[in-house]
A and B are shown apart, each in its own frame.
Chain A
Amino acid sequence: SQQGEEDPQALSIQEGENATMNCSYKTSINNLQWYRQNSGRGLVHLILIRSNEREKHSGRLRVTLDTSKKSSSLLITASRAADTASYFCATDSNQAGTALIFGKGTTLSVSS
């Protein structure tokens, strides 16, 4: 079953623009992670934010977490064509140990 749901499902922007993706989840979490997947390839970990954190930065990435709304957002600033990929939020699940529960992802397309 899905825990996280990303919004929008697809996003098309121009190079240099910012991209914002949102994720909502259903149950309480210990942390929330964002992963990137280039077409048909393995997932790459981008950033992890703990439930007691509100904002985290990593390079051009900014993640926010609002546990009261059970939502998170991923902002990619100054997008590049190489950022074209699918982005997934993932949360831990109390029912499945430390396994990750993924949303369906946002497909980002950055054109030059």
Chain B
Amino acid sequence: DSGVTQTPKHLITATGQRVTLRCSPRSGDLSVYWYQQSLDQGLQFLIQYYNGEERAKGNILERFSAQQFPDLHSELNLSSLELGDSALYFCASSVIAGLNNEQFFGPGTRLTVL
């Protein structure tokens, strides 16, 4: 158990819908990362937050957004869902945003868009 929790574990929805994925980092970790894992794209970095502020953006679509709250939990919002958004979404956390820090991954949310 990494100490990172993600809810829900599974999510099935229809195209055009909007969903929210939730992540609680390890106690004391200030940095949260979101990654998407799909068969064709592999593991892709989406976005990073550090202590409530956006720190870096990766391959995140404009239909997706995220935020980190004062209690450090984070939410990833996916809207106008398309079939291609079906994937595993992982949240990871680390103590600080510096280099040479391992990241601790949650169990993931499996999103299926029908």
Contacts and interface: CB of A to CB of B under 8 A. Distances in A.
Interface in B69-104: 88, 90, 92, 94, 97-104
A97 B43 contact: no
Given A2-B42, A40-B88, A100 B56 contact: no
Contact of A96 (B58, B99, B100, B101): B58
Interface string A89-106: 000110011111111110
Interface in A24-64: 30-31, 33, 35, 40-45, 48, 50
Given A42-B108, A88-B43, A104-B42, A96 B48 contact: yes
Nearest to B96: A98
A48 B97 contact: no
B100 A97 contact: no
Contacts of B2: 42, 44
